[in-house]
Amino acid sequence: MVILLPGLGLLALLGGTALLAWRAWRRRQHFAPLRRLPSPPGLPLLGHLPAVLAAVRRKRFFQLLHDWSQAYGPAYVYWAGRPVLVLSRPALIESAIVQGMRSGCLIRSPAMRRAWNDMRGPILIGEEGAEWQWRRRSWNPGFTAASTAAHLPLLEQASAQVLERIAQAPAGQAIALDPLFVEMAMRVIATLMLGIPLQAGAESPEGPRLDVARAYQAMGVLGRRFFRMATGESPWMKYLPTRTSLAYWAARRQLEDLLAPRVALALRLREGNAGEEAGLSPLFRQSLLVRIAAREPRYDQDSLLAETIEFLIAGTDTTAHTLSFAAGTLALHPDVLARVRQEVDQAWERHGGLTPACIGALDLVRGVIRETLRLFSVASGSTALQVVKPTHLEGVGRVPVGTTVTWSMQGAGRDPEAYPRPLEFLPERWLPGGPEGPAPPMIDFGSGPHRCIGEHLAMLEATVMLAQLLRHTTWELVNGPASLENQRQNLLIYPADGMPVRVRRRGEAGWS
Ligand code: HEM
Residue by residue, DSSP assigns 365-429 as: HHHHHHHHHHHS-TTTTS--EEE-S-EEETTTEEE-TT-EEEE-HHHHHT-TTTSSSTTS--GGG
Amino acid letter, residue 91: A
Give the ligand 1 atom nearest the CA of 316: 27
Q: Cα(348) to centroid of ligand 1, in Å?
A: 30
pLDDT of residue 301: 96
The pLDDT assigned to 510 comes to 40
Task: Decide: 444 in ligand 1 pocket, CB within 6 A.
Answer: yes
Write the residue with the smallest CA distance to atom 12 of ligand 1: 446
What's the CA-to-centroid distance between 444 and ligand 1, angstroms? Answer: 9
pLDDT (tens digit, 9 = 90+) per residue, 172-202? 899 999 999 999 999 999 999 999 999 998 9
Give the closest residue (by CA) to ligand 1 atom 19: 452
Write the residue with the smallest CA distance to atom 18 of ligand 1.
452
Instruction: Determine the atom of ligand 1 nearest the C-alpha atom of 97.
Output: 15
At 125, which amino acid appears?
A: I
312 C-alpha to ligand 1 centroid (Å): 11
Ligand 1 centre from 46 Cα, in Å? 34
* pLDDT computed for residue 508 by the predictor: 62
For the segment 222-241, what is each residue's pLDDT rounded down to a tens digit? 999 998 898 888 999 999 99
Classified as helix, coil or strand, 475 is strand
Instruction: Write down the pLDDT at residue 355.
Output: 97
d(CA 89, CA 69): 10
Nearest residue by C-alpha to atom 11 in ligand 1: 452
CA dist 60 and 382 (Å) reads 15
How confident is the model at residue 9, as a pLDDT? 81
Q: Please work out whether the CB of residue 158 comes within 6 Å of at least one atom of ligand 1.
A: no
Buried b (16+ CB within 10 A) or exposed e, 101-136: beeebbebbeebbbbbbbbbbbbbbbbeeeebeebb
**Which of 319, 452, 459 best tests ligand 1's pocket when mutated (most atoms within 8 Å of CB)?**
452
CB of 307 closer than 8 Å to CB of 267: no
pLDDT at 186: 98
Q: Is 238 in the pocket of ligand 1 (CB under 6 A)?
A: no
* pLDDT (0 to 100) of residue 6: 67
Residues of the chain with pLDDT below 70 are 1-6, 274, 434-436, 508-512
Is the Cβ atom of 442 under 6 angstroms away from ligand 1?
Answer: no
131 phi and psi angles, rounded to 5 deg: -65, -35
Closest atom of ligand 1 relative to the 185 alpha carbon: 27
pLDDT for the residue 4: 56
Number of the ligand 1 atom closest to the C-alpha atom of 108: 16
- Nearest CA residue ID for atom 17, ligand 1: 452
Q: Is 314 in the pocket of ligand 1 (CB under 6 A)?
A: yes
pLDDT of 440: 93
Tell me, what amino acid is at 348?
A: W
Q: Give the strand pairing for 391-393 and 397-399.
A: antiparallel
CA of 382 to the centre of ligand 1 (A): 9
With 0-12 CB in 10 A as exposed, 13-18 as middle and 19+ as buried, what is 20? Answer: exposed
- Name all domains of the chain by residue range, CATH numbers in brackets: 125-381+444-505 (1.10.630.10)
- In the chain, the amino acid numbered 191 is T
CA of 447 to the centre of ligand 1 (A): 10
Q: Output the pLDDT for position 435.
A: 64
Q: Quick count: other Cβ atoms within 10 Å of Cβ 1?
A: 4
Predicted pLDDT of residue 3: 56
Measured from the Cα of 462, ligand 1's closest atom is 1
Decide whether any atom of ligand 1 lies within 6 Å of the 452 Cβ: yes
